[in-house]
Structure 1
Amino acid sequence: MQHLDLQVIEQALAWAQSGETVWLCTVLATFGSSPRGPGSWLVARSDGRHVGSLSGGCVEEDFLERLQDGEFVDRIQVVLYGDAQGEPRESRITLPCGGILKVLIERLPANSMTLDQLETMQSALRGQRHLIRCVNLSSGETRFDVDDGLGPRVVEQIEREIVHLRIGPAARLIIAGMSPVSASCAEFARTLGFEVILCDPREEAFAGVDLPGIEVKHILPSMFISAGGCHAATAVVALTHDPRIDDLAMMEAVCTSAFYIGVMGSLQTSKLRAERLHRIGGLSAEQISRLHMPIGLNLGSKTPAEIALAVMADIIRVQRGRSRDAL
């Protein structure tokens, strides 16, 4: 499964290319508890077909019902859900978590301007570059600025009636080698919204294994990585205990901008691997320091599923910029 953001934009693009007007909804802000954060997307057609999520249920149902009733004809609109002070139609929705959701709704007709916008957003999500999409809340006019990828996903400039929406590469997990831990890790990552790519040239390693929603490539992971498989939102994990797969993947991964690189093994195994990567692979001390080994949080994990949980928890920790001491 692709990352949800990428799924939303690619579906919006496909509908627009087929001549359909689409409505792109973006969570601008949340107040109190909320199941979805700022920057979350949903795209819909006039018949109610949709991809993405805003709240996990109630808000989507209300929006789609109103859309099919012919509402949201304006080029751009901001709606508050869960606001007791809002307009009667808006205030009828009370979020189960007691929060308030501020949603930007854009009607995008199937024209060249819409196609250009969606293609630009798609390229950013696929790892080409970081962008800020600037939207004028009065006119609906948009533009793209180059970005460094740092900062909150949504920044509102209330006085100028402009909102800045940060767009960056979709989170990707490259799993080097098939193993029971790899299978569990892939499933966890897919559930967390990662685009998951599992690389292993050994077709027999997949016998009897079903991995729905996971992209499987029967090549050496090092080849996929060296061919440009990593971007700044990529995590690379090696989970086989086979140095022919694990070591080569690590040697290529440290030459990329991947935000997390980890390999499974005990403290002793990790020490020996570091020496081997330096002696044979020619990795510098700085490159070796990028490797998380042993991989994952120290949860006392024993089973493949427990190890996979520790791995994904550590990846999320790094992705969110949290130190281990802060846990």
Structure 2
Amino acid sequence: MDSVDLQVLATAQRWAAEGRRFAWVTVARTWGSAPRPPGAWLVLREDGLVEGSVSGGCIEDDLIERMREGRLAGERPFALVYGVTKEEAERIGLPCGGRLEVIVEPQPDLAVLYELAARLGLHQLVAKRVDLASGRTTLSQARRGEAMRWDGQQLLTVHGPQWRLLIIGAGQISRYLAQMALALDYDITVCDPREEYIQGWDLPGTRLVTSMPDDTLLAMVPDARCAVVALTHDPKLDDMVLLEALRSPVFYVGAVGSRANNDARRERLMTHFDFTAAELSRLHGPIGLPIGSHTPPEIAVAILAEMVAVRNGVQLDAQLPRWSAAPANSQASACALP
């Protein structure tokens, strides 16, 4: 599956190949209850066809009207601000108090577009800079953790796999989890030193390694944009990566297994490896949100949903009874797998 960015790029490339004129629109800044975050983008063809979104539909109609009337023309990029007045916000349909500023590239540089697509195809992290003063758009290698910037003259957006996911085990759940995580633009490494599991792994867009899990994580130099999910059911492999992950800055650490298995795992880590209660509290195990998961794809949904919640700063314990969606002896949840 392609990420939203790659879908937009693919559409832009197709339109370019067909000789169609189109504009590139990026959210530069938001105030209040803006529907889409800074960095969201779309491409808009001269006949009004749209791929992507900058407002969830609020300002797209206005952009389409401007394009059809020739008001998104010219060669140089420029800024548009929506929701400046209450009347305008109501006319466009922005939420109460919402405002957003977008940068329009009426004639995107096709060479830059193709280079960006090629770099993203190689899973590179790319910075795209639009300079309103010079009218130039340039690309460069982005630094991991580099953030989007807009100073009123230059817009810097970062594209590519800014988030990383290390999956331990190349089984069925891992395959579904990796497929779904690709849609969220994760850079995915699957680690499994077991020969019998790696033979059938052929998922495009992922990296398969056969080194030991702890060595694999250390080689990745984990940071706060990295998640670790252990899915082998084998303590000799899962625990190895947990020893490193729980003391690293990764934002999410999860391990498959029942309540009993995870309680035993925590006891092992505390007794034999001197983990503190605070360190062990970072372990999501049983793993995944309690949504009554049965099948591998359902379990993958539960895991990824929990990762999204943690990544977005949602306090799960405050939102729902974390593991009470099924009776204690039920096998109906991803978190209750043996």
Query: Which range, TM-score by smaller chain?
Result: 0.5 to 0.7
Cα deviation for residue 21 of structure 1 reads 4.1
Q: SS of 1:108's equivalent?
A: coil
Matches within 5 A, 1:46-125: 46-74=46-74, 75-84=76-85, 93-98=91-96, 99-109=98-108, 111-112=110-111, 114-115=112-113, 118-119=116-117, 122=120
Question: Which residue is 1:315 aligned to?
Answer: 307
Gaps of 5+ in 2: 320-338
- Given the alignment of the two structures, is residue 136 of structure 1 paired with residue 131 of structure 2, yes or no? yes
The higher relative CO (CA closer than 8 Å, separation ≥ 6) is in 1
Distance in structure 2 (CA, Å) of the matches to 1:20 and 1:226: 47
- Given the alignment of the two structures, is residue 163 of structure 1 paired with residue 154 of structure 2, yes or no? yes
Matches within 5 A, 1:193-232: 193-194=184-185
Paired residues of 1:3 and 1:171 also in contact (CA < 8 A): no
Paired residues of 1:125 and 1:167 also in contact (CA < 8 A): no
Q: SS of 1:135's equivalent?
A: strand
Cα deviation for residue 53 of structure 1 reads 0.8
Distance in structure 1 (CA, Å) of the matches to 2:55 and 2:298: 29
TM normalised by structure 2 equals 0.60
Paired residues of 1:6 and 1:170 also in contact (CA < 8 A): no
Distance in structure 2 (CA, Å) of the matches to 1:139 and 1:217: 40
Question: What one-letter code is carried by the residue in structure 2 that aligns with 1:97?
Answer: P
Distance in structure 1 (CA, Å) of the matches to 2:249 and 2:67: 42
Distance in structure 2 (CA, Å) of the matches to 1:225 and 1:172: 11
Partner residue of 2:261 out of 261, 269, 275: 269
Q: Deviations over 1:215-248 (max 9, x none)?
A: 89999897x99999x9985534344646698568
Distance in structure 1 (CA, Å) of the matches to 2:119 and 2:187: 20
Paired residues of 1:35 and 1:55 also in contact (CA < 8 A): yes
Q: SS of 1:8's equivalent?
A: helix
The count of corresponding residues between Structure 1 and Structure 2 is 308
Structural RMSD (CA): 5.5
Cα deviation for residue 27 of structure 1 reads 0.8
Distance in structure 2 (CA, Å) of the matches to 1:49 and 1:244: 53
Distance in structure 2 (CA, Å) of the matches to 1:121 and 1:326: 41
Distance in structure 1 (CA, Å) of the matches to 2:268 and 2:206: 28
Question: Which residue is 2:45 aligned to?
Answer: 45
Distance in structure 2 (CA, Å) of the matches to 1:25 and 1:242: 48
- Residues 216/96 of structure 1: CA separation in 2 closer, same or farther (3 Å cut): same
Paired residues of 1:2 and 1:196 also in contact (CA < 8 A): no
Distance in structure 1 (CA, Å) of the matches to 2:181 and 2:73: 38
Seq. identity, %? 32
- Residues 120/138 of structure 1: CA separation in 2 closer, same or farther (3 Å cut): farther
Distance in structure 2 (CA, Å) of the matches to 1:64 and 1:306: 38
- Residues 69/260 of structure 1: CA separation in 2 closer, same or farther (3 Å cut): same
Question: Which residue is 1:210 aligned to?
Answer: none
Q: SS of 2:95's equivalent?
A: coil
Question: Which residue is 2:145 aligned to?
Answer: 149
Cα deviation for residue 265 of structure 1 reads 2.1
Cα deviation for residue 300 of structure 1 reads 9.5
Q: SS of 1:51's equivalent?
A: strand
Paired residues of 2:125 and 2:144 also in contact (CA < 8 A): no
Q: Deviations over 1:237-279 (max 9, x none)?
A: 344646698568879989x9975342112455246557999xx
Question: What one-letter code is carried by the residue in structure 2 that aligns with 1:147?
Answer: R
Distance in structure 2 (CA, Å) of the matches to 1:39 and 1:125: 18
Cα deviation for residue 22 of structure 1 reads 3.5
Question: What one-letter code is carried by the residue in structure 1 that aligns with 2:143?
Answer: D
Q: Deviations over 1:18-67 (max 9, x none)?
A: 65444211111222212211111112332333321111123223212332
Q: SS of 1:83's equivalent?
A: coil
Paired residues of 1:25 and 1:104 also in contact (CA < 8 A): yes
Paired residues of 1:265 and 1:293 also in contact (CA < 8 A): no
Cα deviation for residue 309 of structure 1 reads 6.7
Paired residues of 2:290 and 2:302 also in contact (CA < 8 A): yes
Q: SS of 1:122's equivalent?
A: helix
Question: Which residue is 1:35 aligned to?
Answer: 35
